[in-house]
Homo-oligomer: A and B are copies of this chain.
Amino acid sequence: MKMSTKARYGLYAATELAKAYDGGTTLSVADMSASIGVTEKYLEQILSLLKSEGIVSAQRGAYGGYILTDKPEKISVGRVLRCLENDLKIVDCIGATCGRKKCAPHALWNKLYKNINEFLDSITLKELLEEI
């Protein structure tokens, strides 16, 4: 039950992009990787996931980089993490029916899942920057 490095690095990158958003400047992978403490190659892959979810957009070529597609106060932490952490499903049977009938824990997993998502959706990247 650990958050992956992908999710952690990705959220950190998102906060860096949130800082840069007001200036309207893009940040390259090289710009971010050092301060996050992750290789450029790995961070590339992570940002491509954020891009495919529409959280960031990319400008290719020289002087290019990444930028948030929306204001930091419009992007929730939950949205970022779900995209990087397999939808935050803590057990496989979330949202489905497990084979077992009368599975008390099953209802628990669904409630826990909902609880986690609601918490993470209640915090935006802007709020994250302002320290929780």
Contact = CB atoms under 8 A, between A and B. Distances in A.
A86 B132 contact: no
Given A105-B11, A105-B15, A128-B105, A1 B90 contact: yes
Interface in A53-103: 77, 85-86, 88-92
A92 B111 CA distance: 24
Main secondary structure of the interface of A (DSSP, over half): helix
Contacts of A128: 104-105, 108
A2 B89 contact: yes
Interface string A104-132: 11011101100110011001000011011
Contacts of A92: 2
Given A1-B89, A104-B131, 6 more contacts: A1-B1, A1-B4, A1-B86, A107-B131, A107-B132, A115-B115
Interface of A: 1-4, 7-8, 11-12, 15, 77, 85-86, 88-92, 104-105, 107-109, 111-112, 115-116, 119-120, 123, 128-129, 131-132
